[in-house]
Structure formats: C-alpha cells, structure tokens
Structure 1
Amino acid sequence: MDDLALLEGAARQAGEIALSFFGGDPKTWFKDNKSPVSEADLAVDGYLAEVLLAARPDYGWLSEETTDNSDRLECQRVFIVDPIDGTRAFLAGGDEWTVALAVVENGRPTAGVVYSPVRQEMFTAIAGKGAFINGEALEVSGQASILGASLTGPHSIAANKDVLNAGFKRSANIRSLAYRIALVAAGRVDVAAARGSASDWDLAAADLLVQEAGGRLTDLSGQGVRYNQAVTRHPALIAAPERLVSPVCELLSRLVG
C-alpha cells in the first residue's frame, strides 16, 4: 500500500471514531496554550499512531496530541498528524473540522489528506501528481488581483479595515486551518490567512494540496514552509494562487504582519 492510500484509509476510520463523539458531550480540558482538547482528540490520535506506525515503523511521528520526541528529526520520513483540526468547531457542533495527515520527507510533504467527516469531503494529494477532492482534480481560482478576491482568516486579519479597503471580500472564517487552506486549493476561496503560531500539523497536508492545485502557502516574505524541524511553529502565513502571493504578502505584511 502506498503512502497516500494508507493515509486515506486511516483518515476515514479516524473520522468514524471522531463522529462517535461528535454531538455528544466528550470530556474536555484546556492545554497550557489555552486551546481545548477532548477525549475524542486523544482517541483519534491513539488510533492513528497505532495504525500508521504499524504500517511504517521506520517513519517518525509528530502529532498535536502526542508529546514531541526529537527522534523524529533523525527520520527520513515523518507522519505529521492533526487528529481533529478545528477542535473548537468540533466541540461546538460545527461541520468544518477535519482530520489532517501528511507524510513529510526532507522538510516537505510528499503525501497528504485533509478529510471532513461531516461534509464527506476527502482532499488528497501526492507531490507531483496533483490534488483531488473525492477523486475530482483541484485547481486554485483564476482570480487575478486583490480587488474582489475572497479572503478567509481570523477576525484580526479578515475584518481589518485596511484589508477590506484594499478590495478583499471577507468570507466566513473556517475554524479548521487545514480546511481553510484546502478551500483555496479547491478554488472556493481565493486567499486564506493564518496568524503566527500555526504548527506543522495544521499545515503540512493542506500545504501540499495548495501546491499541487497551482498555488502556494508562504510566510509574509513569500518564503515557503519547511516541516519536521526542531521548531514546529510558524509565522503568519497566506495560501493563494501563485499570481496573488506577492501582492497579498506585500499588503498583509504592511498592515497586519
């Protein structure tokens, strides 16, 4: 079984596990960074670690819900996992939370899936072979300028009056960052923005989707993202079609960077 098939099968089953808690009242607490975590997150994380590492015992492991181990830095290939991306949405009964899984080699994703169990959308990508949703090819939008472009992101960015005055149309924020970026890959949203502090597990799978759909995920200087480094958090980022990367980075770095 190739890496993508492994990730896709694991994501579907992980989604079923998460759905068994969805709409109920799972035990929930807060981590040191004040973000919520629930027994559903841990159940999915445990399943994914068992299944993926059994299939690829030589791969490293980096997950939001597993204590980090620097041994991953010595591995040629690493699983980067967010068991439930958008836990706040999950706990509130929202439908945009996802399971986000990637394989990273030499700092870049080579296979990735972002799965929305409630919406029944499976986004998949392999480096050099395109990106797909439920088997249909993805392509970023053809939007040629900021004027009239749709932007999704946190309130501090998407509702910034200077951002809106520049011509962006504000779209509803998507509480799963992986899904937010996947929507750019699908051409449903022109630009997605993220504040500083997003982590590898929020980004790696969706990064590959955007890349393979003809866009890029970059920091506000236009530099791409490297994964499985000692530090797993990243500065403010945007995902956009290639032609919009430079003007969006210039605008946001000046206004909200």
Structure 2
Amino acid sequence: MKDYTLELEVAKSAAREAGKKIMEVYALPFAVEIKKDASPVTQADKCAEKIILEMLLKEFPMYGVLAEETEDTSERLTKEYVWTIDPLDGTKEFVAKNGEFTVNIALVHKHEPVVGVIYAPVLDQLYYAAVGKGSFLEEGGKKHKLTPSSHSAV
C-alpha cells in the first residue's frame, strides 16, 4: 500500500494557507459575483484556489486536478491521481458571514479517495484522513484521533 504522508501533509498545509487568505477577505468588505450556474463566487474562492493549486502542483505536478473555480479539462481523466478541490465550500454562508464554510481537498486514486482534508478556518479546526493512517482532528494545538460512530445514521 502506498504511503500518502507527503500528500496529506501538503494538502493540510495548503488548506491552512488557503484558510488564512479566506479569513483576510472575510474580515473586509468584499464583492460577490454570480457564476453561470447562479452560485456566488468571491475573491476568497479565487485566491484560496490559487494558493491550493500552487502548493499541490509544486509537489505533485504529475497529478490531475478537478477544482471548483477552474475550468475542467479531459486531461485529468488520463491521470492515475486527481486532486479534487473546493477552495471555499459554503460560499453562501461565507457571504452571509455566519462562519459555516470550509476548505475541502481530496486526493483520488483510480476513483477511490485516499486523502481527505477539511479545514474550518473560523474555528481553526482541521479534519484529515489518509488510507492506512486513520482520521484526525487538529484544534487548539492538539491532535485528536477520530473513531467511527457505532450508531447507524438514520
């Protein structure tokens, strides 16, 4: 089994850096544009995605990318590994300034997720997992191992 430590660490760093930029925009007045699909987009979405792409592709230039604010191309379909990125999941909540938004990054290998990172910048909570490593939450400078619930979702 491949060790995804480097991919996980780079994705965690990218999520945190994107979160910093998002919070800079969040603290100031910002414009809201409407995309073709009628969903909102802000400078925070665009800047966060740029940061994430630069960091991921610097380390993994051979991986494909599917990112929300970047036009999709069929080239990624030829790649064994593909990063999937939502740089600001919850743009409507960001615009409403209710704090309920995240940075989402995943790495998919042959249609199976192998790394996942979710960062909630308002709460400074970083959730992450990788195949063979378990899942964790970092908050308040502490790392907590997460365990699956024994309760079934209804």
What's the TM-score once normalised by structure 2's chain length? 0.89
Residue 50 of structure 1 deviates from its aligned partner by 1.4
SS in 2 for 1:67: coil
> Match for 2:25: what amino acid?
F
2:132 is aligned to 128
Residue 96 of structure 1 deviates from its aligned partner by 1.9
SS in 1 for 2:77: helix
Higher relative contact order, structure no. (Cα contacts within 8 Å, ≥ 6 residues apart): 2
Residue 139 of structure 1 deviates from its aligned partner by 2.2
**Cα distance in 2 for residues equivalent to 1:23 and 1:87:** 15
Larger Rg: 1
1:109-148 equivalences in 2 (<5 Å)? 109-134=113-138, 135-143=143-151
1:251 is aligned to none
1:65 aligns with 2:69: yes
Residue 25 of structure 1 deviates from its aligned partner by 2.0
1:211 is aligned to none
> Match for 2:54: what amino acid?
E
1:86 aligns with 2:90: yes
**Number of residue pairs matched by the alignment:** 146
SS in 1 for 2:12: helix
Unaligned runs of 5+ in 1: 144-242, 249-257
Q: 2:105 aligns with which of 101, 106, 110?
A: 101
**Cα distance in 1 for residues equivalent to 2:133 and 2:8:** 11
Residue 141 of structure 1 deviates from its aligned partner by 2.9
Residue 137 of structure 1 deviates from its aligned partner by 1.2
1:13 aligns with 2:17: yes
1:39-50 equivalences in 2 (<5 Å)? 39-50=43-54
What's the TM-score once normalised by structure 1's chain length? 0.55
Residue 129 of structure 1 deviates from its aligned partner by 2.0
Residue 19 of structure 1 deviates from its aligned partner by 0.6
Root mean square deviation, CA, Å: 1.3
Unaligned runs of 5+ in 2: none
Aligned-residue sequence identity (percent) comes to 36
